[in-house]
């Protein structure tokens, strides 16, 4: 009978790995700045500017975390970001009174795209990679053919989103922090959040436990798309008008997946969380900053990012194999 009582809490390195990686990246950055005598890169202002560089990626990645945790993935976020930026700037067209309707339209677009993605994946049982890739192509095609008629611009008032400050901090950064906290609260403290983990962990188990799994998957995709639409609004505000390429240029689809994975959320779903994703986003920004400090060219930076992504995933894979043995 004693075997029933056996319980040993294992110390799980991989749970702290994102924090560890973040610490390493931070140390390298500080060492680099000190070594080069560039202490102005170590001020709070520098920290804010590092974070501020990743607002759009941060928003997208927080949303992507939902899609991946539920056991799905969303490749359509990049083009959705473009679409959101283009649609909102076309509706505003320089008129401050249209700001709210424009934001509303962009979010509605996100909700529609997310719902469609979710329906394709759950009801038609299309593989998420293919469903969202297809959705991505559709959005891209629509943007390309309609762009001629979208000659919008963003009123100055709307640019406060990207350039305004509140209490000495950029408004956009505050918005990202709030969106992140909201996502964390939902995942950690609501039944919906628990269900996201359950469905991602094992869809059959979740279904057998009485969870309506299709709804959870669809809702996760809607959240993912809403966050992407918000990222599109932010980019429109920053760039003063929407362009149909901003999403793709930022490679937000692949980068958002990369930072989620670096943050320790496993691609098959059910394990991970928002703080890992936050760590992943900051790690990516720090890598950028480190390379800027070192004066390395953009191509080398890209190679380094690639290596880090693969190394992170390999690390988690090796760890989980050891756990199973």
Locate the DSSP E strands across 100-210.
165-166, 169-170
Taking the complex as a whole, how short is the minimal distance between the CB of residue 202 and other proteins, in angstroms?
6
Would you give the binding string for other proteins spanning residues 230-269, x where CB under 8 A is met? ----------------------------------------
Pick the stretch among 65-73, 142-150, 197-205, 285-293 that binds other proteins (CB under 8 A): 197-205
Among 44, 191, 295, 297, which residue sits at the site for other proteins (rule: CB under 8 A)?
A: 191
Backbone angles phi, psi at 53, to 5 degrees: -75, -15
Among 122, 172, 195, 277, which residue sits at the site for other proteins (rule: CB under 8 A)?
A: 195
Q: By CB under 8 A, is residue 205 in contact with other proteins?
A: yes
Locate the DSSP E strands across the chain.
165-166, 169-170
Longest dimension (CA), the chain: 74
Size of the site for other proteins (CB under 8 A): 32
Task: Rank residues 9 and 97 by Cβ distance to other proteins and give the closer one.
Answer: 9
CA 136: distance to chain centroid?
16
Q: By CB under 8 A, is residue 2 in contact with other proteins?
A: yes
Q: Are 109 and 83 in contact (CB under 8 A)?
A: yes
Q: By CB under 8 A, is residue 83 in contact with other proteins?
A: no
- The residues that bridge with 324 in the sheet, in sequence order, are none
- DSSP single-letter state for residue 20: H
Name residues contacting other proteins, limited to 145-184 (CB under 8 A). none
Q: What's the rounded Cα separation, in Å, for the pair 79 and 140?
A: 6
Q: Are 217 and 118 in contact (CB under 8 A)?
A: yes
CA-based end-to-end distance of the chain? 24
Task: Rank residues 39 and 268 by Cβ distance to other proteins and give the closer one.
Answer: 268
Q: By CB under 8 A, is residue 190 in contact with other proteins?
A: yes
Q: Are 138 and 80 in contact (CB under 8 A)?
A: no
Would you give the binding string for other proteins spanning residues 9-28, x where CB under 8 A is met? xx------------------
Q: What is the CA radius of gyration of the chain?
A: 21
Task: Rank residues 44 and 210 by Cβ distance to other proteins and give the closer one.
Answer: 210
Among 36, 42, 100, 323, which residue sits at the site for other proteins (rule: CB under 8 A)?
A: 323
CA 161: distance to chain centroid?
19
Contact footprint for other proteins (CB under 8 A): 1-10, 189-191, 193-195, 197-198, 201-202, 204-212, 270-271, 323
């Amino acid at each position: 009978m004693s075997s029933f009582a056996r319980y040993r809490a294992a110390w799980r390195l991989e749970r702290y790995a994102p924090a560890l990686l973040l610490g390493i990246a931070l140390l390298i950055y500080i060492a680099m700045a000190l070594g080069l005598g560039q202490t102005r890169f170590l001020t709070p202002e520098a920290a804010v500017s590092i974070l501020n560089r990743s607002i759009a990626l941060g928003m997208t990645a927080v949303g992507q975390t939902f899609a991946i945790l539920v056991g799905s993935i969303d490749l359509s976020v990049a083009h959705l970001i473009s679409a959101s930026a283009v649609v909102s700037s076309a509706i505003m067209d320089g008129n401050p009174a249209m700001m709210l309707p424009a934001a509303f339209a962009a979010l509605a677009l996100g909700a529609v795209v997310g719902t469609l993605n979710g329906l394709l994946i759950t009801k038609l049982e299309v593989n998420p990679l293919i469903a969202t890739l297809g959705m991505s192509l559709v959005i891209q095609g629509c943007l390309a053919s309609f762009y001629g008629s979208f000659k919008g611009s963003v009123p100055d008032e709307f640019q406060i989103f990207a350039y305004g400050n509140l209490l000495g901090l950029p408004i956009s950064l505050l918005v990202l922090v709030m969106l992140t906290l909201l996502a964390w609260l939902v995942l950690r403290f609501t039944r919906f959040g628990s269900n996201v983990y359950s469905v991602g962990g094992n869809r059959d188990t979740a279904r057998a436990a009485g969870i309506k799994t299709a709804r959870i998957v669809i809702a996760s995709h809607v959240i993912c798309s809403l966050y992407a639409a918000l990222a599109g609004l932010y980019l429109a505000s920053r760039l003063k008008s929407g362009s149909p390429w901003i999403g793709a240029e930022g490679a937000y689809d692949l980068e958002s997946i990369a930072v989620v994975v670096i943050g320790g959320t496993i691609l098959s779903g059910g394990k991970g969380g928002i703080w890992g994703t936050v760590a992943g986003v900051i790690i990516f920004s720090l890598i950028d900053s480190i390379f800027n400090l070192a004066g390395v060219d953009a191509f080398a930076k890209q190679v380094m990012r690639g290596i880090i992504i693969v190394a992170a995933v390999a690390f988690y894979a090796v760890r989980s194999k050891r756990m199973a043995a």
